[in-house]
Amino acid sequence: MGADRVEVLDGIDVQVGQHHFVSLLGPSGCGKSTLLNIISGLFEPSDGVALVDGSADRLGTCGYMQQKDLLMPWKCITDNVALGLIVKGTPRREARARAEEVLERFGLGGFGHRYASEISGGMRQRAALARTFLAGDDVLLLDEPFGALDSLTRLQMQSWLLDIWQASAASVLFITHDVDEAIRLSDRVYVLSKRPASVVLTLEIDLPRPRPYETVLSPEFLALKVQAIRYLHPDAQDVNGEEMTSDG
């Protein structure tokens, strides 16, 4: 078994401050999801330490939305979304009422009585994201929550997520493959290398908030995007056929 061990992360140092929005950006298979599993307490690191609010006792302290929606097929969508509240002791009737309010805001009004098998993949992802936020955790781990959505809905959901986050006290660690999405949403972006993943670039995003769709067209935004792409694709060439360097 020992010979089959694979090194996934290499000296990763990621910090998320109170009410900060931080994104992890890196190639597929580099270990981003593994890092979230460690932070959530599902995995323990073989070296180093992971802390939430200064404690290594992490299991159950974070709201965690994985890439799969993990909706229970025998429960209707309203009951799935309300589940986190019910587990925490909220009366079922109150939890369902709050779930139905959130479903309306996610564009799922009228679908609460449906089952997961009866709605589209994008709608399932939105329901799972609603469940994560409704649980009300102060630390949210979101693993590509918008990956299954069409481009228009994705932009709308980014704006919704920013509004909800800014009105809350939550700290968010967000995984995405979309450079624009990472920069638009975040206070900080960590760009990761191929596996074993290490942080090759830390981008501090000082763009003013709120950030409407048009933010992605600003010179400041585009400059940050170029930096990220250079480190994500160090062997890429520009439009003139010249190699793009990552030394700035």
pTM for the predicted model, two decimal places = 0.83
| Mean pLDDT per 10-residue segment, the chain (248 residues) | 66 88 89 86 82 76 82 96 88 94 87 94 84 81 85 84 85 94 97 88 95 93 96 64 49
Say if CB 33 and CB 24 are below 8 A apart. Answer: no
Say if CB 41 and CB 64 are below 8 A apart. Answer: no
* The total number of structural domains that make up the chain: 2
Which pLDDT does position 187 carry in this prediction? 97
> Do β-strands 63-65 and 188-192 pair in parallel, antiparallel, or remain unpaired?
unpaired
> Positive or negative, the Cα torsion across 117, 119, 124, 127?
negative
* Phi, psi angles (nearest 5°) of residue 187: -90, -30
The CATH number given to whatever domain includes residue 217 is: 3.40.50.300
88 and 51 within one domain? no
CA–CA dist 58, 7 (Å, integer): 22
Domain end point (choices 136, 155, 182) = 136
85 and 197 within one domain? no
